[in-house]
Amino acid sequence: MTAPVRALSDEDFRTLLLGIGLDRRKGPESWSTTFTDLDLDSLARVELASRIKTLTGVEVEDRITADSTPAEVLELVNTLVGAPAGAS
């Protein structure tokens, strides 16, 4: 069964990031920092993609790189699900 396609709110996304190891002291202001600089390795990125697919139904694993930022991933996911800009 495929999950319904839905946008991610900032709070949804923060929960996902904390679940893959983002330091709890880092807030949304850190989301423009690369995954490498946030000390989130390839395993964390794969886990994030898996959790995104479960929540939203969209596949992004091949589009998340070490040089991607969480902000870029959130925008990508919400673009793929067709959420209006600023909907998070």
Half-sphere exposure of 29 (CA within 13 A, CB side): 2
Any domain includes 2: no
Token pair of 77 as six digits: 């996911």
Any domain includes 87: no
Mean pLDDT of 61-84: 94
Q: What is the pLDDT of residue 6?
A: 83
Neighbours of 70 (CB within 10 A): 24
Any domain includes 3: no
CATH number of the domain encompassing residue 48: 1.10.1200.10
The CA angle 48-35-86, to the nearest 5 degrees, is 70
Any domain includes 88: no
Which range of residues forms the domain containing residue 21?
10-80
Any domain includes 85: no
For 1-56, what is each residue's pLDDT tens digit? 555 678 999 999 999 999 999 999 999 999 999 999 999 999 999 999 999 999 99
Domains of the chain: total? 1
Global confidence as pTM: 0.88
Burial group, residue 87, by CB count within 10 angstroms (0-12, 13-18, 19+): exposed
Residues 43 and 87: their CA atoms lie apart, in Å, by: 28
Residues 38 and 31: their CA atoms lie apart, in Å, by: 9
Any domain includes 1: no
